[in-house]
Amino acid sequence: MSEKTKSFTRALCHGGALPCGRCGRGKRVCMPSYVVDTPQRKYAAVVERGILKRTGDYIPENAGKVFVVTTRDVWQYHCTRLAEGLARRSHEILFFPGGEEHKRLASVETLAEDMVRRGGDRSSLVIAFGGGVVNDVAGFLAAVFMRGVPVLQIPTTLLAQVDAAIGGKTAVDLVIGKNLVGAFHQPVAVLIDPDVLATLPEREYRAGLFEVLKCGVIRSPGLFELLAGRSGEVLARQPEVVEQLIAESVRIKAEVVSADERESNIRVILNFGHTAGHALEAETGYSRFLHGEAIAFGMRAATHLARRTGRLAAGDAARIVSAIALYGPIPALDGISAQALAHRALIDKKTLKGNVRWVLPECIGQVSVVSGIDESVVIAAIQEALG
């Protein structure tokens, strides 16, 4: 291991609260825990192999009945470990169909009615046990049930572990656009178990890597270099590398959310790739692309836009586009209009007073938020990303 890699690993280890067995500072293997400190709640995002078996330790003593919102495939793979973690807690399982097409208000209503029928009340707690859609839907369910009950986030996909589960953004989609109905509802904790990724399909894993790459571009040159230079180990899911990817992404998300809970300032940078990405998802009816794949396209479009507006050097732009390609492919983009995507961007929730806010890289590890870009330049950049 190079000195640079050792330094990066030490930085990941010592950024958290847990003692590090890897570097001799404790008995446990180093798994960091990062604090998310917001006006609404202060909580831990814990990265630890096997933590599912300790889920009960993170449920408040005064909590009433626990409702686990999950999908049947996630439950099939991981129910034994979670059941062990909830052995001392009364709990009910609420199955959600999953998929972006079911991320709608009707699903929240169905789940809420099921909770009432099974004895849910103001003392209840919701566990979101699944991927990004489950985390969004279950989090929103908790935010509105009885005007708000606690939620514990247990993400089971890489994308959810590094992004969706952390930060308290919960929402459902409308036909016209993504995540347009939602609430900020911070969890009591986020439990991230890298072991669950062993059952993750290859396409889902790669989709999550695009969100990790996003973190590298916006705030961590070291993370970007790891992804750009060690793709073989990353794609092989080499345990130590996966832990580094997750830990650094969680550190960045926790740091940014703690500084800006409600996306009024710095948190907007987490939307790199999301403006065009959300437009692509809406334009294709949320049926062709996984969320991470759409974000990969969106990052490509934003990178081209940054270069075209003179904010990003051509060399850095080429490196970002090449790194995105390492973790593809994404589904075909045939039949999609750049003009239609530019129009969709106008109704994205990040647009303010008719001005689309683009998160554009200035160099690897630094981005800026830009609005007022001429529509013709935007369309040209999107067209370039469409290929």
Q: Which residues are catalytic?
A: 147, 169, 211, 253, 263, 267, 271, 274, 278, 291
Query: Encoding tokens for residue 20?
Result: 């590090």
Please measure the distance between the N-terminal and C-terminal CA atoms of the chain and give it in whole angstroms: 38
Beta strand 125-130 with 91-95: parallel, antiparallel or unpaired?
unpaired
Residues 276, 340: Cα–Cα separation, whole Å? 11
> In sequence order, what DSSP letters do the residues of 105-171 get, joined into one string?
HHHHHHHHHHHHHTT--TT-EEEEEESHHHHHHHHHHHHHGGG---EEEEE-SHHIIIIITSS-EEE
Residues 99, 161: Cα–Cα separation, whole Å? 17
Cα-to-chain-centroid distance, residue 212: 9
Residue whose tokens read 């949320």: 286
In this structure, are residues 78 and 110 in contact, taking their beta carbons and an 8 Å threshold?
no
Residues 188, 168: Cα–Cα separation, whole Å? 10
Residues 244, 46: Cα–Cα separation, whole Å? 13
